[in-house]
Amino acid sequence: MPIERTASDPGIESSDSDGYDAVIVGGGVSGPSAGIFTARAGMSTCILDRGPSSLARCAYLANYLGFPGGIDVSTFRALCRAHAATAGCRYLTDMVLEVRRKDPGDGRDSNAEEPSSDDSKGGDEDEVRAEGRASGSFVVESQDGRTIETPRVLIATKDDTSYLEALGEGAMFTEASHGGETHRYFDPEYVDQEGRTPTAGLYVAGPLAGCPDQAIVSAGHGARVGFAVIADWLEDRGYPPALARGYWDWLSKEESRDENWKAHARAFVERALDENDEDASEGRIEELTAELQAHTDALFVRSEEVERRRREGHRRLLEHIDDRVIKAYLDERESDE
C-alpha cells in the first residue's frame, strides 16, 4: 500500500503543480463519500460543488442510518463536507462547465489550477507521495475560470451532464422525447457496477450511475466507486492488481493484531505477484511487503487512541449542533437530576 498515516490520520495537503490525482464533480452525498476514501488513501483529491442537488431539495433527512431523530439537510451537508475536508479533500465552491481530454500535443495550460492552502481542508500538513503519478489526461474548466488537470474525474452529479459533451463520447448519452422535444441524457448503462466507464479515467457515482436516489444508497455507492478509483490508481503506480484491489481502510484494535501478521503480509504480496506473473524478485517482494506493513500499522490503534478519537469525534459533532439545543438538553438533564 502506498501511504503511511500517523495515528491521527491527518489530512494530506498536496503541493503538486500537475493538478490532482482525482477531481470529483458534485458535493452532494456520493462525491464526498468517494473523496473520503481517495484522500485517506493518499490521493490528492478536489471536490467541486456548486450546482443543484437532490439533497438540497430534500425537506428533512429521515431515513439515514445513525440519526434516530433524523437530521436537517443543512447540518448533514455540513457534516459531510467537514468529514471530507478532514480526510484531505480540497473543496472548491465552483461549477464545472466542461470536462475534456487534454490534447497530448499541448503544453500545460497556463491557467491550470494548482492546489494551495486557500479553500483547503483542515488537518495537519503532510506530503503526497508523487512517484508514479499518471500525467493529467483531463482538463476541467470551471465557471470561476479555473482550469484543473487530472488523470481521473469522478462524476457525482445527477441532472445536467452537458459539461461532458466535450469528451465526444456519444455512447454515454441516450435520447428521449418529451412534449415534442428531444433531450439527451446520460445513459447509466455506460457505467459498470464499480463506477468505471469505457472512457479511461472517467467514473460515475450515485443516481447518475443507476442506483436508487436515496442519500444512504448514494453514499454507499460513492464509497464503492472510490475504492475502484484507488485500485486503478495503485495499479498505475505499479502495484499488482490483486494487491491494488485488496486495498482496505478500517481501524482495528491493537490487541486484535495477529502475531503472525508480518508473515501474512509477505504471503499476500507473493500471491498477488504470482497471480499476475509479475516480478517476484526478493527486492520487489520486500518493497511491497514493507509498504503493506506500513499501511497495516497505520490502521491498528491502541485503546488510549480509541478513547481520544471517541472524545474528538463527539466534539466534532457538537460543532454542528445548535448551541441552544445543547443548552436545553443540559438544562433538562440537570432538572431531571
| Cα torsion 238, 239, 245, 250: sign | negative
- Confidence band (pLDDT; 50, 70, 90) for 136? low
Average pLDDT score over residue span 161-190: 91
Phi-psi region at 247: left, alpha or beta (left = phi > 0; alpha = psi -120 to 50): beta
pLDDT of residue 57: 85
The 10s digit of each residue's pLDDT in 68-116 is 999 999 999 999 999 999 999 999 999 999 999 987 655 544 445 544 4
- CATH 3.50.50.60 residue ranges of the chain are 22-236
124 — pLDDT class (breaks 50, 70, 90):
very low
The fold for domain 22-236 equals FAD/NAD(P)-binding domain (3.50.50)
> Which grid cell is 68?
434516530
